[in-house]
A and B are shown apart, each in its own frame.
Chain A
Amino acid sequence: TQLLEQSPQFLSIQEGENLTVYCNSSSVFSSLQWYRQEPGEGPVLLVTVVTGGEVKKLKRLTFQFGDARKDSSLHITAAQPGDTGLYLCAGEFNDMRFGAGTRLTVKP
């Protein structure tokens, strides 16, 4: 079983739609990171959240860290085809552990 559960596993939407993906765990994180991975490339860090309840915005992407620091969400507004990719969350325990990811496809 994954230490970090991500949902949904797959998501296919039309350009312009909004979406939210989730990262959940029964454990408390000292910090949590979101990465995006495009085909044939390694994951690239998008954001790090540290404080419970923290909200960070990166253009059309909004990241929220749960109050108890056990969960996080990523909301994308007006999705574009360039947002297509695998979105991974990673939490720091003794070392960095990754979720299995949400594979997002945005159709033009």
Chain B
Amino acid sequence: DAGVIQSPRHEVTEMGQEVTLRCKPISGHNSLFWYRQTMMRGLELLIYFNNNVPIDDSGMPEDRFSAKMPNASFSTLKIQPSEPRDSAVYFCASSSRGADIQYFGAGTRLSVL
């Protein structure tokens, strides 16, 4: 199994630009999670999906952030417009049983200049 696949691994962009992060969960998993990790705040849950449906997006910082899961094998996290304070590592994780035993991707390191 290839595990959770995230792309790109690194993204450098300028303030105001749109950023799209991508995630392919483990095949057969029905839950998908997006996290943001910074030194100051640690690992924060942004949003999670069950069976492609967003269940809890209370962690999404503001309207500039949006996430979609058009099918069971793909999800995107979009930031528009991006700001320097969005710089962080963004992780996607998937699970076969809701919030239990999550498998993480390698992350996308985002730098907004």
Q: Which A residues fall within an 8 A CB radius of B?
A: 2, 31, 33, 40-45, 48, 88, 92, 94-101
Q: Is the interface of B mostly helix, strand, loop or mixed?
A: strand
Say whether B25 faces chain A, with CB atoms less than 8 Å apart: no
Residues B102 and A88 in contact, CB atoms below 8 Å apart: no
The residue among B33, B41, B42, B104 with the most chain A CB atoms within 10 A of its own CB is B42
- From A2, A42, A48, A100, B104 is in contact (CB under 8 Å) with A42
Residues A101 and B104 in contact, CB atoms below 8 Å apart: no
**Among B14-22, B70-78, B79-87, B93-101, the stretch in contact with A:** B93-101
Say whether B4 faces chain A, with CB atoms less than 8 Å apart: yes
- From A45, A95, A100, B56 is in contact (CB under 8 Å) with A95
Q: Which residue of A lies closest to B93 (CB)?
A: A42
Residues B45 and A43 in contact, CB atoms below 8 Å apart: no
Measured between beta carbons, the chain A residues less than 8 angstroms from B104 are 42-44
Residues A96 and B102 in contact, CB atoms below 8 Å apart: yes
Residues B106 and A98 in contact, CB atoms below 8 Å apart: no
Please give the number of chain B residues whose Cβ is less than 8 angstroms from any Cβ of chain A in the complex: 21
Say whether B12 faces chain A, with CB atoms less than 8 Å apart: no
A-B interface, 10 closest residue pairs, ranked by CB to CB distance from nearest: A42-B104, A100-B42, A98-B43, A96-B99, A43-B104, A42-B91, A95-B99, A42-B105, A42-B107, A41-B106
Q: Which residue of A lies closest to B59 (CB)?
A: A95
Q: With A40-B107, A94-B56 given, name 5 new contacts (CB 8 A).
A: A33-B101, A42-B93, A45-B101, A92-B99, A96-B45
CA gap between A13 and B69 in the complex, in Å: 44
Q: Which residue of A lies closest to B43 (CB)?
A: A98
Shortest CB-to-CB span from B67 to chain A, Å, is: 15
Given known A-B contacts A96-B99, A96-B102, A42 and B4 have beta carbons under 8 A apart: yes
